[in-house]
Amino acid sequence: MLRFVSKSAQNGLRRSVRYASTLTLNSSPLSYPTNHVEPGTEPYLTPSFHNGQLVKSESKTWFDIHDPATNQVISKVPQSTAQELEDAVASAEKAFHSWKQYSIIKRQGIAFKFVELLKKNHDRIAAMIVLEQGKTFADARGDVLRGLQVAEAACNAPNDLMASSLEVATDMETKMVREPLGVVGSICPFNFPAMVPLWSLPLIFVTGNTCVLKPSERVPGAAMIIAELAAEAGVPPGVLNIVHGKHDTVNKILEDPRIKAITFVGGDKAGKYIHEKGTSLGKRVQANLGAKNHLIVLPDADKNHFINAVNGAAFGAAGQRCMAISVLVTVGEKTKKWVEEVAADAAQLKVGSGFDSSSDLGPLINPESLTKASEIIADSEKAGATVLLDGRNFKAADAKFAKGNFLGPTILTNVKPGMRAYDEEIFAPVLAVVNVDTFDEAIELVNSNRYGNGVALFTQSGAAAQKFTKNIACGQVGVNVPIPVPLPMFSFTGNKGSFLGDLNFYGKAGVTFLTQPKTITSYWKTSNVEEVLKPSTAMPIQH
Ligand code: NAD
């Protein structure tokens, strides 16, 4: 059972009350949620994190955080005040000047320790994700793992930041180093509360930058634990600051000239605004946006592998993954018939609490998402789609979950471009099935879609796979792999409408995004050596 241990500032500390170190998080390595909060429990007030301290906000505006499985308010998050936002940016700016002087080997040592602490707190972070975001515990562990892997890769910083040099003329050498940018603003979505902050934080640290991070106001818990662990690992005060809120916080990050770059992951509307405004104010911006990921199945595919893969990729995490498969493209009549079997298996998936180890998928994040998905299903049905499997009106067996935002796996067939189920990102466990006659038509369908995050082909033909990988216009391509998210030795390479910017998250592109090159050209004449080294008894004179 979760114990909320919010302690307000007390007992005559000489520090200001807002910087009271007596604040604690609502979890610890030994005590974290294993079940939903009992009704009537007082909501926890989420602190911010500035200059190495948990900070109690003085804000008058607080947003409720609901458990998506019960819709009970479990905690609150502040709209950080203008002064608090200013304090966070000032603390990041101040810390930058000393942090960038740390030797790379010292920063690497801290990164190793950070990785160790993330591993020790793996279940604790996952549990907080289940409570606030609703996904299953196993899936939440995956959320943490994919972030942890970026932190592990960041430990390679000495190699990633190795300078290059060349003797460009006799006795003249040019060396190119990569230097940090300064303060980086990081704005995160609700669906991966640990992975997305960790897509950028470890690289921000090791490259010598500092950070002001805004978690989603719906799921701040994981980011708060990550901040605590970073401090414990030796990340100095001010290098990581966590602020909260909505537009006012985003606008501060966009407008403050001390913030040099922004990493954003989220929906199209916010992403376009942040990219446009950020770049117009001279900042570097990398922005990962929405998606509509297709899985094409050819008649020669391994049917069982395909059915398991499509169900996992469409309905896992209740479809709230930017790489979820939301469109199945069946090629020809044979694969069209397989959809009945997909639906039969999908109907067996268990919808329920993320804390229940038998659940396959949890709830949607909020009632608005549930309403939106239900409306899209109804509108598409009116436009000619067939509801083969209907997850609406899901009834939880346990009355505790009667008000949860649950939607069961839903499959729509006879879907065509122009219908909302095809055109819009639903971000729910809804699979739209489009049937085409030929492989070429399937490729054309994907290529004309405005998004380019992920795509998969299921086939046993090497020739078809070769044609597909060469001709498909999409950033992350899977062959018999439904969710082809690259590990962090590569980068997250969504393209078209799924990405704005030039340099992707993590991997080499991530390091390049977070650093700027400096070339140093030096000329030391070797012919002067004898003269320089010759002993002299004369009074030295400056030249
Ligand atoms: P969102 O855009 O609503 O919110 C993302 C962040 O932006 C939050 O911190 C939020 O406070 C802020 N924000 C929201 N609206 C804003 C606005 N109008 N102006 C300024 N800031 C605003 O996204 P979400 O609902 O939290 O996350 C789901 C979306 O994120 C989906 O579209 C999903 O595809 C996308 N996503 C993409 C990737 C990827 O790598 N491409 C990964 C994860 C999620």
Over 138-154, what HEC string results? HHHHHHHHHHHHHHHHH
For a substitution probing ligand 1, which of 80, 250, 327, 492 has the most ligand atoms within 8 Å of its CB?
A: 250
Nearest to 122 by CA among 226, 244, 232: 226
420 alpha carbon to ligand 1 midpoint, in Å?
20
Query: Burial, 198: exposed, middle or buried (Cβ in 10 Å; 0-12, 13-18, 19+)?
Result: buried
Own/partner pairs for 489-493, CB < 8 Å, 24+ apart? 489/153, 492/199, 492/288
Query: Burial, 251: exposed, middle or buried (Cβ in 10 Å; 0-12, 13-18, 19+)?
Result: middle
Amino acid occupying residue 447: N
Specify the 3-state DSSP secondary structure of 500.
strand
Identify the residues whose C-beta falls under 6 Å from ligand 1. 187-192, 214, 216-217, 246-247, 250, 265-267, 269-270, 273, 288-291, 322, 425, 427, 453, 492, 494, 498
- The H or E element spanning position 333 is helix 332-346
For a substitution probing ligand 1, which of 77, 79, 135, 187 has the most ligand atoms within 8 Å of its CB?
A: 187
If one counts every other C-beta atom within 10 angstroms of the C-beta of residue 375, the result is: 12
Looking at ligand 1, which residue's alpha carbon is closest to its atom 22?
270
Looking at ligand 1, which residue's alpha carbon is closest to its atom 9?
216
Buried/exposed code over 443-462 (b: 16+ C-beta within 10 A; e: otherwise) = bebbeebebbbbbbbbbeee
Query: Burial, 9: exposed, middle or buried (Cβ in 10 Å; 0-12, 13-18, 19+)?
Result: middle
Cβ atoms of residues 421 and 376 within 8 Å:
yes
Residue 542 pLDDT: 55
Amino acid occupying residue 49: F
Looking at ligand 1, which residue's alpha carbon is closest to its atom 34?
290
**Ligand 1 atom with least separation from CA of 499:** 41
Q: From CA 453, how far away is CA 288, in angstroms rounded?
A: 9
290 alpha carbon to ligand 1 midpoint, in Å?
8
In sequence order, which ranges of 427-461 are alpha helices (DSSP H)? 439-448
pLDDT for 496-522, tens place per residue? Answer: 999 999 999 999 999 999 999 999 999
Residue 402 pLDDT: 96
User: Which residues make beta-bridge pairs with 193?
Assistant: none
Segments of the chain scoring below 70 in pLDDT? 1-21, 540-543
Looking at ligand 1, which residue's alpha carbon is closest to its atom 24?
189
* HSE, side-chain direction, 13 A CA sphere, residue 93: 12
Q: From CA 42, how far away is CA 361, in angstroms rounded?
A: 28
Could you list the beta-strand ranges (E) of 415-523: 430-436, 451-452, 454-458, 476-479, 495-496, 499-500, 515-523
Give the chain's length: 543
First to last CA, the chain: 75
534 alpha carbon to ligand 1 midpoint, in Å?
67
- The H or E element spanning position 282 is none
For a substitution probing ligand 1, which of 200, 242, 254, 289 has the most ligand atoms within 8 Å of its CB?
A: 289
Catalytically active residues are 322
pLDDT for 52-74, tens place per residue? Answer: 999 999 999 999 999 999 999 99
Pairing, β 325-331 against β 293-297: parallel
Residue 462 pLDDT: 98
Read off the tokens for 417: 């471009």
DSSP 461: -
